[in-house]
């Protein structure tokens, strides 16, 4: 198993492209096949989806120091594991990428933003980590029946 740093999924090694070195050693790509393919597509499109997210952040927070590169859209939502849409046509849905502030009070600054699905962002709202834990602790036993 190997973890893809882009989508944070822990995947079997077959999900990573292999490269044969001149030495004969085989090395695996850093990112999983899905993320690799996706970043190729985004590159071709000139990062338009990330650019669009970035513009909306700049609209909300002009002093933000994040760049479109900080807002690369992963293949799947790192929280919920659902595939993320790569274009913004049509209505906003659960799978629409959105920018979440890890700690809301810190704002849209480098290191405090992560691209997640709109559903994950909505569920989290402005909850703190402690509150999210309380929610899970409260509801988990009720589901076990």
CB of 101 to Zn ion, least distance (A): 23
Q: Does the protein bind Zn ion through residue 7 (CB under 5 A)? A: yes
Q: Which of 1, 2, 3, 4 binds Zn ion (CB under 5 A)?
A: 4
Smallest Cα–Cα separation from 118: which of 86, 58, 61, 77? 77
Q: Does the protein bind Zn ion through residue 32 (CB under 5 A)? A: yes
Q: Does the protein bind Zn ion through residue 77 (CB under 5 A)? A: no
Smallest Cα–Cα separation from 102: which of 113, 91, 92, 93? 113
List Cβ<8 Å contacts ≥24 apart for 48-57. Answer: 49/73, 49/86, 49/87, 49/88, 49/97, 52/88, 53/97, 53/98, 53/99, 53/115, 56/99, 57/99, 57/108, 57/113
Q: Which of 1, 2, 3, 6 binds Zn ion (CB under 5 A)?
A: 6
Cβ proximity to Zn ion, 32 vs 71, nearer residue: 32
Are residues 28 and 13 in contact, defined by beta-carbon separation less than 8 angstroms? yes
- Only one of the segments 24-32, 46-54, 93-101, 125-133 lies at the binding site for Zn ion (rule: CB under 5 A); that segment is 24-32
CB of 19 to Zn ion, least distance (A): 17
Cβ proximity to Zn ion, 35 vs 77, nearer residue: 35
Residues of this chain that bind Zn ion (CB under 5 A) = 4, 6-7, 32, 35
């Amino acid at each position: 198993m190997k973890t893809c740093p882009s989508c944070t999924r822990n995947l079997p090694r077959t999900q990573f492209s292999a490269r044969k070195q001149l030495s004969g050693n085989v090395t695996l790509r850093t990112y999983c096949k899905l993320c690799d393919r996706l970043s190729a597509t985004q590159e071709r499109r000139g990062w338009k989806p990330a650019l669009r997210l970035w513009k909306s952040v700049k609209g909300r927070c002009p002093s933000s120091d994040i760049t479109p590169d900080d807002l690369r859209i992963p293949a799947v939502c790192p929280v919920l594991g659902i595939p993320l849409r790569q274009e913004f046509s049509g209505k906003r849905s659960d799978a629409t990428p959105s920018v979440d502030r890890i700690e809301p009070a810190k704002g849209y600054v480098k290191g405090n933003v992560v691209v997640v699905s709109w559903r994950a962002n909505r569920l989290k709202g402005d909850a703190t980590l402690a509150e999210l834990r309380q929610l899970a602790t409260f509801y988990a036993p009720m589901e076990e029946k």
